[in-house]
Structure formats: C-alpha cells, structure tokens
Amino acid sequence: MDIVVCVKTNPDLEMVRVKDRVAQTEGVPYKIGDLEKNALEAAVALREAGAAAKVTALCLAEGNRKAAEDIKTALAMGADEAVVVDDPALADPDEAAVAAALAAAVKKIGACDLLLFGEGSSDNYTGQVGARVAELLGLPQIGYARKVEAADGAVRCERSMDDMIETVEAPLPAAVTVVSEINEPRIPGLMQIMKAKSKPLQVWSLADLGLEAPAPVREIVSNLAKEQDRKHIVFEGTAAEQADAFVDALTREGVLGR
C-alpha cells in the first residue's frame, strides 16, 4: 500500500504579531502544521507496522518560498519522498484551487492507496480541502479519525462522535482526515535530519500538472482581530489593596455580582 500525506506549511503562529487588528506575517518563518504532523505520523506508523510500502509527503507551497526546504521536516519524520507544488499563481489560493492542485498532483504521483490529511490547517482551519480532494478523485472519505488501520484492501478508522465511539470502514483507495488525538508526532533526531537531505524531492508547477492559473471562487472581505476597548486601569498599593481594587473594578463592570 502506498500512502500520500498532504501537508501544509503555515506561518509559525507563535511568531505572528497583531498590529492595528491585522496579523503581521511578513518575515515570519513557516513550519508544517500540527495536524499535518499527526497525519504524517499515522502514515509512518502504518508503514512501520508493515501495512504500507511507501509514504509520500505532498505539499502546496501557497506563497511559502522555502516550502521545498520546510518539507524536509516531513522527510526527517519518516516520509520516503516528497513532492512540492510551487507556482506563482498559487501564492494565495482558495480551498477550491488548493484541492484542484493537490488532486492533480496525486494523479501524477500515480500510486496512492491511502490519502491522509489533517482535519484542518493551523491557520484558517476551514476543514474543506480533504473532502474536496476526495470528491475530485472520486474517493470515499472518512473524517475526524483518531485511529487508522489498514488491511485486506480496506481502511478502518475510529472516531469520537460526541456521545459515542464510531468505527467506519471504507475500501481502498480512500481519503482520511485525522484529529490530534490520533498520536504524538515523533521529533526527528540529527541522523534522521541528515538522511532527509538525500531523499527524493520533486518540485512541480501548475504546467507540470496540466493546470492553468485558477480563478478564485471566494473573496475574503475582512480578516481582522476582534476590536477591544481597554480600560487602562492601573492598580497600586500592596498586593492585598490591589486585589481588593481589582475585585471592586470587576464588580462595577458587572463581571462579578454584588
């Protein structure tokens, strides 16, 4: 069984600052998203258990000029090879364009019995791409998987559905989106990082996939942080006096009852 894991590189959220209610991402480094690491760990675990032969990491650059370098983290974590789709027309794609490019790349890769995604990306978390790609490829899709097993031409997933644990099975090839509860992604050691440099890595453009520049189907009207009205209240005195003044201020604002 060959597995393709779709990974996304996102701006490091710990490095993002907000100015005038707008996220400042200029100069912020990128890294593979947390849920994508969960999906990758699930794929490598299946290969190590003998259920898979090869794991390929597939990434859409989406304006990340260093995507081909950042994807080496996936290779260090255990992926056998990687493919990056990088094209100027995909600098700021919507979910439809992302899904179309990923689906075309999966077709070009050829061998894919199981397609894995994180349930959502760390930045926008729309949760659309996995389902869109599955639809374009005509694959059955299982979402919210917290356990993945594959055998006898089928994939079996366990997922938590509020008041019950549900087990779902689908014939291969299939697409699965995973949640963070599925595993704890490994941290590659120095030896794995060094070996990653020699693993196969290909970079494709839209032309390589037989695609043209996508026309956006959605427009982001606004993406601003919540407006806040700060009171700028300073508490002075001893710790006990400051605590009393703090409680009094919360009471006057109606946060605490009298």
Phi, psi of 95 (to 5 degrees): -65, -35
Return d(Cα 81, Cα 111) in angstroms, integer: 13
Which residue in this structure is represented by tokens 């701006």? Answer: 11
Residue 157 tokens read as 């997933």
The reported pLDDT for the residue numbered 140 is 97
Q: pLDDT 10s digit of each residue in the chain, 258 long? A: 999 999 998 887 777 787 777 777 777 888 899 999 999 999 999 999 998 889 999 999 988 889 999 999 999 999 999 999 999 998 888 899 999 999 999 999 998 999 999 998 877 778 899 999 999 999 999 999 999 999 899 999 999 888 899 999 999 999 999 999 999 999 999 999 999 999 999 999 999 999 998 877 777 787 777 777 777 888 999 999 999 999 998 898 888 876
Q: Is the same domain home to 113 and 187?
A: yes
- Reduced to 3 states (helix: H, G, I; strand: E, B; else coil), residue 172 is coil
Supply the DSSP string of 39-98, one letter for each residue. Answer: HHHHHHHHHHTTS-SEEEEEEE-TT-TTHHHHTHHHHHHT-SEEEEE--GGGSS--HHHH
The reported pLDDT for the residue numbered 22 is 78
Q: How many CB atoms within 10 Å of residue 80?
A: 18
Q: Is the same domain home to 238 and 117?
A: no
Domain-embedded: residue 219: no
Domain-embedded: residue 216: no
Return d(Cα 36, Cα 28) in angstroms, integer: 19
Q: Which of 38, 56, 49, 48 is nearest to 147 (CA)?
A: 38
- The number of distinct structural domains making up the chain is 2
What distance, in Å, lies between the first and last C-alpha atoms of the chain?
Answer: 65
Q: Is the same domain home to 243 and 152?
A: no
Contact in structure between 171 and 154 (CB atoms under 8 Å): yes
Domain range for 249: 228-258
- Does the global pTM surpass 0.85? no
Q: Which of 175, 171, 135 is nearest to 152 (CA)?
A: 171
Domain-embedded: residue 17: yes
Q: Is the same domain home to 87 and 124?
A: yes
The reported pLDDT for the residue numbered 226 is 77
The reported pLDDT for the residue numbered 258 is 65
Q: At what angle do helices 95-109 and 129-137 cross, to 10 degrees?
A: 50
Domain-embedded: residue 223: no
For the four alpha carbons of 198, 204, 208 and 211, in that order, the dihedral sign comes to positive
Q: Is the same domain home to 111 and 204?
A: yes
Q: Is the same domain home to 133 and 250?
A: no
Contact in structure between 204 and 105 (CB atoms under 8 Å): yes
Domain-embedded: residue 94: yes
Instruction: Give the largest CA-CA distance in the chain.
Output: 71
* CB contact burial 17-46 (16+ within 10 A = b; e otherwise): eeeeeebebeebebbbbebbbbbbbbbbbb
